[in-house]
Amino acid sequence: MADGSDRPHGGFIVRALDRAHVTPNAITLFGFVGVCVSGGLIIAEQWVPAALVFIAFGLFDPLDGHLARYQGTVSTFGAFLDSFLDRAAEAVIFGAVAVTFARDGNELGVVACFGAMAGSFLVSYARARAEGLGVSGGSGGLMGRPERLVLLGGGLFLGGVGSVLEVTVGVIAVLALLTAVERVLIVRRGAPPPSTAGGG
């Protein structure tokens, strides 16, 4: 079990979760359930509660990793589940926002949601694929997941004010897609040169 110096954030909460025999994967699943609740509130156009639930459960995101390191239970499946549900959570939120736009006949807003979702997935995939290939630099760019969460949380909080949410999602879409392209270029620069086949 790690000592306190290995847990710079959330030490008290992590210890309490450990004493309660909570597992890291349970934290991951709990956070996803919370995001689904936020998605339901978005569809109901309860913007402020949706934003507060989204932000509150977003704060749980690092806890599973901290708890896994504290308990010495870091696992490949745990990392996979966390990444998988992170993508699913973004799909839930952008999908719920798209439902509200579609219901209002806001076609541009629906397109922005699909762009934001595609950009978010591509940004995350670029990092994961680069790491899988052993190439550094796949985590660069303007619009990583923390930035997307901050922007989206603010947009949800002001979702009932004019076109704030539509503009916010549009900004996320544009910047996420640009970030995906930027990561491709970063990985291209950092990738080793192609090997030449040896002569027979």
- Three-state DSSP at 175 gives helix
Provide CB contacts within 8 A for 137, sequence distance 6+.
Answer: 130, 183, 186, 187, 189, 190
Domain chopping of the chain, boundaries: 4-190
Which CATH number does the domain 4-190 belong to among 1.20.120.1760, 1.10.10.10, 1.20.1050.10, 3.40.390.30? 1.20.120.1760
How far is the C-alpha of 64 from the C-alpha of 85, rounded, in Å?
A: 12
Measured distance CA(74)–CA(125) in Å, rounded: 22
Per-residue pLDDT in tens (0 to 9) along the chain, 200 residues: 444 444 444 578 888 888 888 999 999 999 999 999 999 999 999 999 999 999 998 887 888 888 898 888 899 999 999 999 999 999 999 999 999 999 999 999 999 999 999 999 999 898 888 888 887 766 767 888 888 999 999 999 999 898 999 999 999 999 999 999 998 888 888 777 776 544 44
86 belongs to the catalytic site: yes
The CA distance from 8 to 11, in Å, is 7
Q: State residue 127's pLDDT score.
A: 87
| Single pTM value for the model | 0.84
The residue annotated as part of the active site, out of 3, 18, 86, 104, is 86
